[in-house]
């Protein structure tokens, strides 16, 4: 049984090593720089593979997307009709929660202002609101969103979520559906976005949405924290909102164009924190064992829990 590893732009060596270490008797093959017979490939572990690559593998049984988001993969219109499994793994979840909490605390504890003061050698103590005074609104209450919401709550933040369907298990207020979006935004000081990119969510973070955020919060204006996907956001609207005071700050891990072009005004905006799409990295040691266990389950005829619904796009 042969697995094809195809993740353009990633160093394949640690992945191949991890597949070899964890997958006794299995053979991992690189797509780039290595000759292989397309008919020999049964499984593919991929991240943004070249469009058409997967369609060229006649004996492919399943595709493992090496990330949680599948928007890039589904953009390949030639994808073969085999199950697509996305990553759901504690390693990735914890990494995302770390990033979200880091950004939430960064804005709560006024780090952008203190960094500016430090650059001026200015010693000035600013008023410090408590986490419980900050209303966090979370869009994207899935695997990652749930964990972030839980940890933010544990830190004391006043968390509510926006979801498509009722969430009876949720331990916080849930605003359900498009009709409830205005009320959700009206009580949000810090908007945390962990939505997938779909035709429904594309461009959702625009001026109209920013205008609906709470204006009476303790942070001096609403803050946007987005690690979902760059195309959820309209960057020109974020910049305009920061200029006009509609937004007080933003932390962005994802961008309309990645890498973020050097010419983007986002880079130098004093109210924006930028990270280069690293909120939750996929790592070989964190993920390969789980993929191989899933392959074993699949071979035994069991259904896999994290199969992507092509219809909904995530
Ligand atoms: P999940 O599929 O578990 O969660 C997505 C959630 O979004 C679900 O609860 C889903 O609702 C909800 N949702 C989807 N469409 C809508 C909509 N139109 N309106 C309201 N809610 C909606 O995904 P994950 O939590 O694992 O990952 C979320 C996203 O995070 C990924 O798709 C990816 O884009 C991004 N990501 C970014 C990373 C980074 O490093 N920056 C790393 C990993 C992921 P429902 O429950 O009803 O289906
Ligand atoms: C993912 C990502 O979707 O890293 O996992 O963006």
Note the pLDDT of residue 251: 98
In this chain, the answer to whether the domains covering 2-87+282-299 and 91-274 adopt an identical fold is yes
Instruction: Confirm or reject: Cβ of 70 under 6 Å from ligand 1.
Output: no
Atom of ligand 1 nearest to the CA of 196: 32
CA dist 111 and 153 (Å) reads: 21
Alpha-carbon dihedral 250, 253, 258, 263, rounded to 10 degrees = 40
Query: For the stretch 146-166, what's the b/e string if a residue is b when 16 or more beta carbons lie within 10 angstroms of its beta carbon?
Result: bbbbebbeeeebbbbbbbeee
CB-neighbour burial class of residue 99 (10 A; exposed 0-12, middle 13-18, buried 19+): buried
Do strands 27-30 and 223-226 pair parallel, antiparallel, or not at all (unpaired)?
Answer: unpaired
Note the pLDDT of residue 1: 83
72, 89, 138, 314, best to mutate for ligand 1 pocket (most atoms within 8 Å of CB): 314
At the top level of CATH, the class of 2-87+282-299 is alpha beta
| Assigned CATH for 91-274 | 3.40.50.720
Q: Return the sign of the alpha-carbon dihedral for residues 256, 260, 263, 264.
A: positive
Atom of ligand 2 nearest to the CA of 87: 5
Instruction: Confirm or reject: Cβ of 23 under 6 Å from ligand 2.
Output: no
What residue spans define the domains of the chain?
Answer: 2-87+282-299, 91-274
Q: Which residue stretches of the chain have pLDDT < 70? A: 26, 32-33
Both structure tokens of 106: 């960064």
Just list the catalytic residues.
Answer: 229, 277
Note the pLDDT of residue 32: 66
Do strands 43-47 and 84-85 pair parallel, antiparallel, or not at all (unpaired)?
Answer: unpaired
Q: Give the residue carrying structure tokens 């309309």.
A: 256
Residue 43 to residues 4, 124, 157, 222, 242, Cα–Cα distance (Å): 6, 58, 43, 45, 46
Instruction: Confirm or reject: Cβ of 69 under 6 Å from ligand 2.
Output: yes
Instruction: Confirm or reject: Cβ of 279 under 6 Å from ligand 2.
Output: no
CB-neighbour burial class of residue 292 (10 A; exposed 0-12, middle 13-18, buried 19+): buried
Contacts of 2 (CB under 8 A, 6+ apart): 26, 27, 28, 29, 36, 40, 41, 42, 43
Note the pLDDT of residue 34: 86
Note the pLDDT of residue 268: 97
Coil, strand or helix at 293: helix
């Amino acid at each position: 049984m042969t697995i094809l590893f195809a993740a353009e732009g990633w160093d394949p060596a640690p992945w191949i090593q991890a597949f070899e270490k964890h997958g006794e008797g299995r053979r991992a093959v690189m797509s780039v720089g290595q000759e292989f017979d397309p008919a020999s490939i049964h499984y593919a572990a991929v991240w943004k593979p070249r469009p058409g690559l997967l369609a060229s593998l006649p004996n492919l049984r399943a595709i493992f997307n090496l990330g949680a988001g599948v928007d890039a993969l589904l953009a390949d219109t030639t994808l073969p009709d085999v199950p697509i499994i996305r990553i759901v793994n504690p390693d990735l979840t914890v990494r995302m929660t770390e990033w979200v909490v880091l950004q939430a605390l960064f804005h709560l504890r006024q780090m952008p202002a203190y960094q500016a003061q430090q650059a001026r050698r200015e010693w000035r103590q600013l008023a410090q609101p408590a986490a419980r005074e900050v209303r966090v609104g979370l869009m994207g209450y899935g695997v990652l969103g749930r964990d972030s919401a839980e940890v933010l709550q544990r830190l004391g933040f006043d968390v509510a979520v926006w979801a498509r369907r009722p969430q009876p298990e949720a331990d916080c207020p849930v605003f359900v559906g498009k009709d409830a979006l205005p009320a959700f935004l009206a009580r949000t000081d810090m908007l945390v976005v962990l939505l997938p990119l779909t035709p429904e969510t594309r461009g959702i973070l625009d001026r109209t949405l920013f205008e609906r955020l709470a204006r009476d919060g303790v942070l001096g204006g609403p803050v946007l924290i987005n690690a979902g996907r760059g195309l959820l956001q309209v960057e020109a609207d974020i910049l305009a909102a920061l200029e006009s005071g509609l937004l007080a700050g933003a932390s962005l891990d994802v961008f309309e164009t990645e890498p973020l072009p050097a010419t983007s005004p986002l880079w130098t905006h004093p109210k924006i924190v930028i990270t280069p799409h690293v909120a939750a990295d996929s790592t070989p040691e964190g993920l390969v064992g789980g993929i191989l266990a899933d392959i074993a389950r699949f071979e035994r005829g069991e259904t896999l829990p994290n199969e992507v619904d092509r219809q909904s796009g995530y």
